[in-house]
Amino acid sequence: MKDTLEQKIPASCLKVAEFSDKKQYAEATFWERLRVRFHILHCKHCYTYHHKNKELTALIKKHEFKLLSKLEKEDIKAKLSL
């Protein structure tokens, strides 16, 4: 289902979505950032996606997540003998 939906999305939008994702982690290059900026000027869907993406990043950054590390999870699994 998801694949079908993704297949219906234009390749240019999928690329921009990837750049938008990279931008959330400050890993987008200058040209990738520029491409997002221009593309969202005329693409409503990507505009919405990019803004939701930014909102999500802000929401996550507001929070300090204390999670178990991989090692700690393995440790617990070992205690449970799983």
Partner 1 sequence: MSKLDLQPELWVEKYGDYFFYYTVSKVNDRETAKDIVSETFLAGLKSKANFEGRSSEKTWLSSILNRKIVDYYRKINSNKGKAEVKIDYTSQDQDGSWLEEQVSNSDSAENQMENKELGEAILSCLEHINPKHAEIFKMKTMQDYDNEVICKDMGITSSNLWVIIHRARTALASCLDNSWFKT
Binding residues for partner 1 (CB under 8 A)? 2, 17-18, 21-22, 24-25, 27, 52-53, 55-56, 59-60, 62-63, 65-70, 72-73, 75-77, 79-80, 82
Closer of 8 and 63 to partner 1 (Cβ): 63
Q: Two tokens at 19? A: 């750049």
- Smallest gap from Cβ 39 to partner 1, in A, equals 15
Closer of 2 and 44 to partner 1 (Cβ): 2
Amino acid at 35: R
Are the beta carbons of 19 and 35 closer than 8 angstroms?
Answer: yes
Are the beta carbons of 51 and 57 closer than 8 angstroms?
Answer: no
